[in-house]
Amino acid sequence: MFRRLALACAALLSVVSAQLTITSPGTNDWWVASSANTLSWTCSTSPYLNFTVLLSNSNIAVLAAPIAIIAIQENYDCSKTITQQQSAQAAGTGYTLLFANTLNSTDIWAQSQPFEIKALGSSYPTTTSSAGSASTGTASGTAGAAQSTHTGGTLAEYIPVGMSMVAALALGLVVA
Ligand SMILES: *[C@@H]1O[C@H](CO)[C@@H](O)[C@H](O)[C@H]1NC(C)=O
Ligand SMILES: *[C@@H]1O[C@H](CO)[C@@H](O)[C@H](O)[C@H]1NC(C)=O
């Protein structure tokens, strides 16, 4: 029973991970204006072959509308160094990167965490390398798996040893 539950959880996790996610810039990351910056994404789980990369800001006074910084980005590159020209933006917070359909830039496939663009000359975040981003991705995946394992453990705690899941459900021991 629990094995089946665990398998169901694993299947759910793999469905969730079969998608395009922008891993860098992530939470606590920033870019430095008019400098080389790193962009990376989950290319191995991306259902898309290519996309347009846009830069957006939640404050329309900073950017009135998203601007395309890469017209066509091939998915297989997995990461990209953003050039000085592409990152020549006003320093500020509230920036997000959008990956969109190359044929329709309002069809958004992925959105990054909000991040800051710091003034030219600022230091880079310590985990700016793509290796660092990759390990961040792995860490969050592991955390997700650990979380589902924990849920299983919690269920087991409520169900007396030897009682079947069906019996436990009938007794209302499991909150469905
Ligand atoms: C982008 O991907 C689509 C399929 O999603 C493909 O038809 C198209 O040729 C690709 N464009 C480029 C420039 O690689
Ligand atoms: C572009 O994508 C948006 C969002 O998915 C959709 O509402 C719109 O109809 C699309 N436009 C065209 C011309 O396909």
Q: In degrees to the nearest 10, what's the CA dihedral of 103, 79, 82, 110?
A: 40
Q: What is the number of the ligand 1 atom nearest to the C-alpha of 49? A: 2
CATH of 20-153, one of 1.20.1440, 3.40.50, 1.20.1070, 2.60.40: 2.60.40
Q: Which ligand is nearest to the CA of 108?
A: 2
pTM (2 d.p.): 0.67
Label the pairing between strands 50-57 and 92-101. Answer: antiparallel
Residue for token pair 């020209």: 85
Q: Are 20 and 110 in contact (CB under 8 A)?
A: yes
Cα–Cα distances (Å) from 52 to 1, 43, 48, 129, 145, in that order, read: 45, 14, 11, 22, 31
Please report, for the chain, the start and end positions of each structural domain, with discontinuous segments joined by +: 20-153
pLDDT in tens, the chain (176 residues): 555 555 454 444 444 545 899 999 988 889 999 999 999 999 999 999 999 999 999 999 999 999 999 999 999 999 999 998 888 999 999 999 999 999 999 999 999 999 999 999 898 988 644 433 333 333 333 333 333 333 333 333 333 444 454 444 444 544 44
Q: In degrees to the nearest 10, what's the CA dihedral of 158, 163, 169, 173?
A: -30
Q: Rounded distance, CA 146 to CA 58, Å?
A: 33
Q: Whose CA is nearest to atom 11 of ligand 2?
A: 104
Q: What is the number of the ligand 1 atom nearest to the C-alpha of 102? A: 1
